[in-house]
Chains A and B, each alone.
Chain A
Amino acid sequence: MAARGSAGRVDFGWQGVSLRVPADWSLGKVDGNYKSGYARLDDSEIVRAEVEWREAPPSSARRLPIPDLVDRYLEKLNKKAEKTGTEFSVQRRSKFLKDKRWLEGSDYETFTWEADFRAYNLARACGTCGRIILIRVLEPKHDSDPALAEEVFRSLNDHGTDGRIFWCIYGMSFWTPEELTLSTHGLKSGNIQLTFEMKGHICKVQRLSMAQVLLKETSLKEWYPSFFKKELRDFDYTLREESVKDHNGLRMEGRPRSRWRQLLRPLPFVNPRPRQYADSYIWHCEESNKICVVDHHYRKKGERGDLSHALTNAYACHQKKIEADSRGHDELATGQERTAEVGEER
């Protein structure tokens, strides 16, 4: 069941869409990219929230008004319900929101539908970026509370702030510059990995759980090269111990191996790997029992900049959780961090 009341909330952030949701809701499915996509949040029993987003068409003439988009969406749902023989009812322009002032200045519609669950919906075209968002919070019919839906809707932010995008999944939260686009992601249990790209730069943010087990009979400095052996094989690297975000950490600086060495590989001209430089921060956060890795790979020697350092600074590994609060997002804008209780969501 969803946690009621204001306690036990966690952030969710993906592709510029951020929400604050009950602590037991976590990402169940994600799809698409910044232009259009979908994310689903589940609790231990049912689907609790779904968000769909799409970039506004460049020409305002091509832009469909929100009620038309809602018509289309409901038409599809209706057809689906007819096919499966599910009872389906809709209430358009439903007045379940107590306070609508925060929606002023944007084209929006609220509606509810009821089938196996009751779904509170908000379709909105952002007044700032024009991005179209359809968000719904699902509740069991017998235990439906519009207040929770309203709280979640109010926490919705649908674009980056100050040129930065907020990411938060499974308690791993950080900021990236808007120019970095997500290219791949791996959401394995205990190993979350997000890779971003930007003209000749590749950044990877990774989090490994159960650090105490991984580092049981070894040190971080010994563990890192053995665990990332495959990733490090193309680099001549130096590894030095240093404090990262007040944690026991490592700094890895790598340069491409010599061309002669690459030629000595079996089949050197098949699938040649790009010659890259690397700059990484690795640290062990004891408070959250995680190992965090921020990698920056770049093509030319002089292009390093401070991307990996900036990403590391914008990464909240334990209690310093970045606040993604409702609408105002003043703290999001300034990137301020709040020192909340350790593992507030737990």
Chain B
Amino acid sequence: MNSRPARNELLKWERNDKGEAQITVTRQDTWKVKLLSKLFYVPKDRTITLDEVGSEVWQMCNGNTSVAQMIDSLRDKYKLDRKEAEVSLLSYLKTLGQKRFVGFLLEGEKQPPKDGGARARESASGKRWES
């Protein structure tokens, strides 16, 4: 609850005209992808558009806002019960973490750590975060 989600700095993202966050994920250049791209068309990157609530959470993943603060913010804005906000947010952050879109800064950490630990530090394109 005290950890602070931070966006993967290697990901490009922008807001579209509806205010939704659009994340651009670059294709991984592994040997499997290279082989497949010779046989099929594999785009160099793909765009993921987050919905209104997802975009708001994404915006809050700035490394300064804790999970508990995010819960409070969502509760206030959408008039949610604590449990509702908590379950939805944690599940969403888990998905973002698994996809390596965000990492989680622990208490005292000011920037993404340089080595080891959380898999979330690896970028979606397979590179590590620059810190």
- Assess whether A170 is interfacial by the CB under 8 Å rule: yes
A213 touches B1 (CB 8 A): no
CA distance A132 to B13 in the complex (A): 58
Binds A, one of B27-35, B76-84, B93-101, B102-110: B76-84
CA distance A171 to B1 in the complex (A): 23
Chain A interface size range: 10 to 19
For the complex formed, measure the closest distance between the CB of B107 and the CB atoms of chain A, giving whole angstroms: 16
- Please indicate the chain A residues that have their CB under 8 angstroms from the CB of B81 in the complex: 26, 170-171, 209
What string of 1s and 0s marks CB contacts (under 8 Å) between A209-231 and chain B? 11011001000000000000000
Q: Chain B residue with minimal CB distance to A212?
A: B78
- Please indicate the chain B residues that have their CB under 8 angstroms from the CB of A212 in the complex: 78
- Please indicate the chain B residues that have their CB under 8 angstroms from the CB of A209 in the complex: 78-81, 84
Q: Is the interface of B mostly helix, strand, loop or mixed?
A: helix
CA distance A88 to B52 in the complex (A): 50
- Assess whether B39 is interfacial by the CB under 8 Å rule: no
B:52-93 near A, CB below 8 Å: 52-53, 68, 75-76, 78-84, 86-88, 91
- Give the residue among B51, B75, B79 with the most A Cβ atoms within 10 A: B79
Chain B interface residue count, Cβ-Cβ cutoff 8 angstroms: 18
| Given A26-B81, A289-B78, A289-B79, also A210-B53 (CB < 8 A) | yes
CA distance A288 to B81 in the complex (A): 10
- Assess whether A24 is interfacial by the CB under 8 Å rule: yes
What string of 1s and 0s marks CB contacts (under 8 Å) between B33-57 and chain A? 0000000000000000001110000
Residue from A189, A216, A289, A346 in contact with B83 in the complex, judged by beta carbons closer than 8 Å: A189
- Please indicate the chain B residues that have their CB under 8 angstroms from the CB of A305 in the complex: none
- Please indicate the chain A residues that have their CB under 8 angstroms from the CB of B84 in the complex: 170, 189-190, 209
- Assess whether A60 is interfacial by the CB under 8 Å rule: no
CA distance A288 to B84 in the complex (A): 14
B53 touches A44 (CB 8 A): no
- The number of inter-chain residue pairs (CB within 8 angstroms) is 44
Residue from B52, B78, B79, B86 in contact with A44 in the complex, judged by beta carbons closer than 8 Å: B86
Q: Chain A residue with minimal CB distance to B85?
A: A189
For the complex formed, measure the closest distance between the CB of A105 and the CB atoms of chain B, giving whole angstroms: 36
CA distance A74 to B91 in the complex (A): 37
A343 touches B79 (CB 8 A): yes
B78 touches A213 (CB 8 A): yes
- Give the residue among A28, A190, A289, A343 with the most B Cβ atoms within 10 A: A190
For the complex formed, measure the closest distance between the CB of B73 and the CB atoms of chain A, giving whole angstroms: 13
- Assess whether A27 is interfacial by the CB under 8 Å rule: yes
B83 touches A210 (CB 8 A): no
Q: Chain A residue with minimal CB distance to B71?
A: A44
- Please indicate the chain B residues that have their CB under 8 angstroms from the CB of A216 in the complex: 52
B75 touches A27 (CB 8 A): no
A210 touches B82 (CB 8 A): no
- Please indicate the chain B residues that have their CB under 8 angstroms from the CB of A210 in the complex: 53, 78, 80
A residues lining the B interface (CB < 8 Å) = 24, 26-28, 44, 170-171, 189-190, 209-210, 212-213, 216, 288-290, 343, 346
Some 29 contacts from A to B, beta carbons below 8 A apart, are A24-B82, A26-B82, A26-B83, A28-B83, A44-B1, A44-B82, A44-B86, A170-B81, A170-B83, A170-B84, A171-B81, A189-B83, A189-B87, A189-B91, A190-B80, A190-B84, A190-B88, A209-B79, A209-B80, A209-B81, A210-B78, A210-B80, A212-B78, A213-B51, A213-B53, A216-B52, A288-B79, A289-B79, A343-B79
A-B contacts besides A189-B87, A290-B79, 8 pairs, CB < 8 Å: A24-B82, A26-B83, A44-B82, A170-B83, A189-B84, A189-B88, A209-B80, A288-B79
